[in-house]
Structure 1
Amino acid sequence: MNRQSVASTHSGRALLVWALLVVAANLRAPLTGVGPVLDQIQADLDLSPAAAGLATTLPLLAFAALSPMVPRLTARRTPERVLAGALVVLAAGIALRWVPTALGLFAGTILIGAGIAVGNVLLPSLIKRDFPTRVGVLTAAYATVMGGVAAVASGIAVPLSQVAPGGWHIAIGCWLLLAVVGIVLWLPQMWATRPVSDVTRSIRLPWTSGLAWAVTAFMGLQSLGFYVVITWLPQILQDTGGITSAAAGWLLFLFQAVAVLTSLAVPAAMRRTADQRALAAISSAVLLAGYLGLLAAPGWALLWAVVLGLGGGACLVLALAFLGLRAQDAPGAGALSAMAQSIGYLLAAAGPVLFGLLHTVSSSWQAPLLVMCVAAAGQVIVAIMAGRGTVADKPWTPQPSDKPGSSEARHVSG
């Protein structure tokens, strides 16, 4: 199929890769920079602990609520235009959080969550469409950029809030510049011409597919583990390992740094295997070993932070890669991505809350960690199911926007 588009030339494809990576850089940093300065935000805006917690929970709820809507939006307005609009919404949300009121904080956070939700769903679909033979490599690249910038955001938030004249407003608002850069780099893609099937195909989410549910479960369980660790690992290490809060903070940074480095190695491992079953199962088992280590020998905190980073980084890349590898085409990847990320981030939003509640009820960390061990064991099982195969398409149903006789317009289902 001939395609006259920005992505059809070598320089155009290079620009597209850069644009995708800058978009990826925007998908976590506006969120991870909030946690380290949350105590400052709470004191400045006179928020209760529960209200302050919404600053980190609302985006995950937005991911869960909006992800299923993204395929329908792209079928009407093209992925390029929808993603451009999402970047504008993201930038508006970051700017709105400069308003020194609780309303500005929460309204901006909701807009940020909405913009990121669209990017989460569309990146796997766009990579599948424009780079179908390099899904693993580019998925690892954007996961690495996303995780690396997120780690930087969490690391510089407190120092920046202490030296910048705007305090925490600057610390969480400086990422507006990166969002603007993303918008500028993405603008050329809005005029790219795409095949009719890419822009007019009506899509159903594959709710009836067993393979789609396995991919969704893998995405959900690894997201659950990541957000539980990000939220509670420092407190667990302080209470059970006898280390200081500063040391616990550095170990959390170490966990993220190891995860980013591990994500770089995943594509090479994927190329050496016929499918991803063994790699996904082993990576999940490494996570299980980390939780068991925290449970049995919490004094070895450094080791378990590294182990969790190894397993977590690999599982994140695999979860994102599955969205493209298990789909037949780009619209199918978008539908699978919408389903998996909707359920996955719903689990991610509930996980830290339930983990903390179980700690409160049991007055120890043993019961919550046992639950994480069970979740990781379940992840090993679904990894074997999600590591190969394709979510099959069914014959398409004519839509008003479909061209008569087009054999490429089809619904996605299980």
Structure 2
Amino acid sequence: MTTSGNTASVKAAHTETLAFIGGLLLIMALGLNLRPLLASASPLMEDIRAATGLGYGILAWLTTLPFLCMGAVALASGRLHRLLGENRGIMLSLAAIGVACALRQLSGTGVTLLATALLGGAGIALIQALVPGLVKRRFGSRMPLVMGFYSASLMSGGGLSAWISPRLAEMGGWQLGVGIWWVPALVTLAGWFLIFRRRGAPAANTAAIEGVRPWRLPRAWLLALFFGVINSGYSSVVTWLPQYYQELGWSAVAGGRLLAWMTLFQVLAALTMPMIAQRQKTADRRLLLAISLVMQLIGYLGFLFMPTSLALLWNAVGGFGLGACFSLGLILALDHLPDARAAGRLAAFMQGFGFMLNAMSPWISGTLREMTGSFIAAWALLAVGIVAMLAVTLRFNPARYPAVMRRAAR
């Protein structure tokens, strides 16, 4: 009897481990599909500009439009979740990303690029809005660890596309470089359908979902501002960093390679910082956030004063700060509420307005470039924002979370 019981326990543990690994791999596959639409065009901006005749201000909308979609869809994620459901919403989103990339490969007009930025951006946005609540619900106490792997895979997708796309463009033109990313979207869609098509999400805690009204909470607005500013650098960097270095004499391939180098450290940060957060005895993320913000600041100062002599160093340090801020920012929001769906709704609100702020960053940077003839003003503005957010970090004392979130249940 004891032997039988032990065998059953071992089998149950084995099954649980396999389920965890399978779920984690699917979450990571989702993340890999969320940045190629943005990052693949970055090292090819000059080719796209020459082929379409678009200026810097218009080209910035290739990044701005997806981030605006991320914000708008995140704010409507509660209604979309009820309308589509978790699994169907994710599958439709993967299909939208795949179709957008395929259209870019087929048609290289400026109109197509902008339209697919909207279509693909909507798909990216819905996945990003659904994943935090999904992870907190499915993975429980392992949430910080899984969010770290998700963030790392998200940034890996951006880095891989920035590295691979220029090489594909050399072989088959820039449309192949920006369009081939329909392939991983299709593969992930097939995997999600095969594994999760019969798994429905548990019944919603309607009271928790309907009771949380983030727009009534000053803390929710503070989180949105904080998340938006600390991640604004990513949208500007992924859009303009290769172009900045091309203006300093680097090639398109070298610029894409530099963005991929930065992404390596974003991935490293997205993995290590949540692992440290997982081991913390409390939910106090202030020290980790401060370290991450200082590293971003060092990167921007390097871009300003010594961009070429120590390019690898500034991109490594700044990339680590960017990667850490994204994953810690999501964990920070989820820490505020114990209920998974309520915390997911808060995280969606934070991402909604946060990504709208992100959306303006590449446009502002591109406009400053046209006005001043250099990206120096853009890096300086990002550095000022980071200094301001270092002061805001002091307010995220977990002992205060119950008090600042009390109105959420009213």
TM-score, normalising length: structure 1: 0.83
2:105 aligns with 98
In 2, distance between residues paired with 1:17 and 1:345? Answer: 25
In 1, distance between residues paired with 2:139 and 2:265? Answer: 27
Measure how far apart 1:387 and its partner are. Answer: 5.9
Q: Deviations over 1:101-135 (max 9, x none)?
A: 53433332211101000011111110011112011
In 2, distance between residues paired with 1:46 and 1:232? Answer: 17
Instruction: Identify the match of residue 178 of structure 1 among 166, 171, 184.
Output: 184
1:392 aligns with 405
Structure 1 residue 260 corresponds to structure 2 residue 262:
no
1:292–1:184 distance in 2 versus 1, CA, 3 Å: same
Question: Which structure 2 segments of 5+ residues have no match?
Answer: 1-14
Instruction: Identify the match of residue 295 of structure 1 among 296, 300, 304.
Output: 304
1:335 aligns with 345
In 1, distance between residues paired with 2:211 and 2:175? Answer: 40
Q: Deviations over 1:60-85 (max 9, x none)?
A: 12112221111111134322222222
Measure how far apart 1:9 and its partner are. Answer: 5.0
Question: Which structure 1 segments of 5+ residues have no match?
Answer: 1-7, 395-411
2:201 aligns with 194
Query: Where do 1:51-200 residues align within 5 Å?
Result: 51-100=58-107, 102=109, 103-164=111-172, 167-187=173-193, 188-198=195-205
Q: Larger deviation: 192-201 or 309-318?
A: 192-201
2:292 aligns with 283
Letter in 1 for 2:293: S
Structure 1 residue 357 corresponds to structure 2 residue 367:
yes
1:328–1:175 distance in 2 versus 1, CA, 3 Å: same
Structure 1 residue 21 corresponds to structure 2 residue 19:
no
1:46–1:183 distance in 2 versus 1, CA, 3 Å: same
Secondary structure of the structure 1 residue equivalent to 2:210 = coil
Instruction: Identify the match of residue 229 of structure 1 among 237, 244, 264.
Output: 237
In 1, distance between residues paired with 2:222 and 2:146? Answer: 22
Measure how far apart 1:137 and its partner are. Answer: 0.6
Contact kept in structure 2, 1:61 and 1:345, CA below 8 Å: yes
Letter in 1 for 2:140: P
1:3 aligns with none
Q: Larger deviation: 178-187 or 208-217?
A: 208-217
Letter in 1 for 2:295: V
Secondary structure of the structure 1 residue equivalent to 2:141 = coil
State the identity %.
Answer: 30
Contact kept in structure 2, 1:76 and 1:199, CA below 8 Å: no
1:107–1:257 distance in 2 versus 1, CA, 3 Å: same
1:115–1:371 distance in 2 versus 1, CA, 3 Å: same
Query: Where do 1:235-246 residues align within 5 Å?
Result: 236=244, 244-245=250-251
1:226–1:387 distance in 2 versus 1, CA, 3 Å: farther
Letter in 2 for 1:180: L
More helix by share: 2
Letter in 1 for 2:353: I
In 1, distance between residues paired with 2:55 and 2:317? Answer: 35
Letter in 2 for 1:277: R
Measure how far apart 1:198 and its partner are. Answer: 4.9
Structure 1 residue 210 corresponds to structure 2 residue 223:
no
1:287–1:354 distance in 2 versus 1, CA, 3 Å: same
1:393–1:385 distance in 2 versus 1, CA, 3 Å: same
1:407 aligns with none
Secondary structure of the structure 2 residue equivalent to 1:97 = helix
Q: Larger deviation: 312-321 or 377-386?
A: 377-386
In 2, distance between residues paired with 1:93 and 1:203? Answer: 36
Aligned positions, number: 386
In 1, distance between residues paired with 2:83 and 2:20? Answer: 24
Contact kept in structure 2, 1:99 and 1:105, CA below 8 Å: no
In 1, distance between residues paired with 2:199 and 2:65? Answer: 34
2:4 aligns with none
Contact kept in structure 2, 1:290 and 1:308, CA below 8 Å: yes
Q: Deviations over 1:336-375 (max 9, x none)?
A: 2221122222111211222343455456655444322220
1:30–1:296 distance in 2 versus 1, CA, 3 Å: closer
Q: Larger deviation: 248-257 or 59-68?
A: 248-257
Q: Deviations over 1:248-271 (max 9, x none)?
A: 554333222222122221123212
Letter in 2 for 1:58: L
Contact kept in structure 2, 1:71 and 1:331, CA below 8 Å: no
Structure 1 residue 382 corresponds to structure 2 residue 392:
yes
Letter in 2 for 1:71: G
1:251 aligns with 258
Contact kept in structure 1, 2:34 and 2:157, CA below 8 Å: no
TM-score, normalising length: structure 2: 0.84
1:217–1:122 distance in 2 versus 1, CA, 3 Å: same
Secondary structure of the structure 2 residue equivalent to 1:196 = coil
In 1, distance between residues paired with 2:366 and 2:38? Answer: 20
Letter in 2 for 1:169: Q
Contact kept in structure 2, 1:284 and 1:383, CA below 8 Å: no
In 1, distance between residues paired with 2:54 and 2:380? Answer: 33
Instruction: Identify the match of residue 41 of structure 1 among 48, 51, 54.
Output: 48
1:225–1:44 distance in 2 versus 1, CA, 3 Å: closer
In 2, distance between residues paired with 1:238 and 1:172? Answer: 19
In 2, distance between residues paired with 1:96 and 1:322? Answer: 37
